[in-house]
Amino acid sequence: MIRVARWVLRSLWIAGATALVVVALRTVMGPARVERLYRQDEVKRFHPTGGHGLGQLAGETFLVVLCAWGARRWLRVKL
Amino acid sequence: MRPWSVSQLRFAIDVALFGLILLLLSPRLTGLPVHEWLGLALGIPVLVHLLLSWSWIARATLSVPVRTGWRHRINYVLNGLLFALVILEITSGIVISVVALPSLGISTVEDGAWRLLHNRFLNILVLLVGIHTAMNWNALRTGIRRWRERVTG
């Protein structure tokens, strides 16, 4: 029971931190407004295609791995 | 089969989280509807990841302001930034959702400014995920070794 309460309390701390970020974002950006409506069809734009999709996945994976490798090699990032 | 230890569970969650983030960075592979649902689901592994890392979070929060080296301070700030960026991406994704939220009966406005925010910070997220991976490289390597030992018996 105490253990469950501890997990709930920790989750509440995380929810609080999340709320801080969300409130800050909402304050800076304001609510979504029709005057700033984005008019492109994003569902059509991101229609899944095998070639492009796998290319994008490979590209993003490469970028993350490159950042990790660079951080270890040149910034000597480690704990 | 032996039950999973906490460290093995943590490793499995971290690998799943890493894979999920890579999938989220590739909407041309998943399509927008799956991208949005995966984005909503991202909150769960992030929460579990944070809960399983709680001892580090609590220890670092108490010790970073008073007594640690600069490496730990930078790591703490980077982790905080990564958390804020993940929340930014999920929140802005919810605001501009065109499939997931409307299908739940929640109307949204596809706001160009929120969309710009969502897209612009992705590059910094990629950078921070890479640095976070680099920072925890030793833990990752240990996890892979233990996993291989478990699989090979």
Please report, for chain B, the start and end positions of each structural domain, with discontinuous segments joined by +.
6-152
| Residue of B64, B86, B108, B133 to mutate for A, most A C-beta atoms under 10 A | B133
pLDDT tens digits, one per residue of B34-91: 999 999 999 999 999 999 999 989 998 988 878 777 878 888 899 999 999 999 999 9
Q: Are B6 and B144 in contact (CB under 8 A)?
A: no
pLDDT tens digits, one per residue of A17-50: 999 999 999 999 999 998 888 888 888 888 888 8
Say if the ipTM goes beyond 0.90: no
Count Cβ atoms below 10 Å from residue B83 Cβ, excluding itself: 18
pTM here is 0.90
CA neighbor of B26 nearest in space, from A60, A45, A40: A60
Please report, for chain A, the start and end positions of each structural domain, with discontinuous segments joined by +.
1-37, 49-79
- Find the closest chain A residue to B100 by CA distance: A43
CA distance B23 to chain A (A): 7
Structure tokens at A60: 């993003």
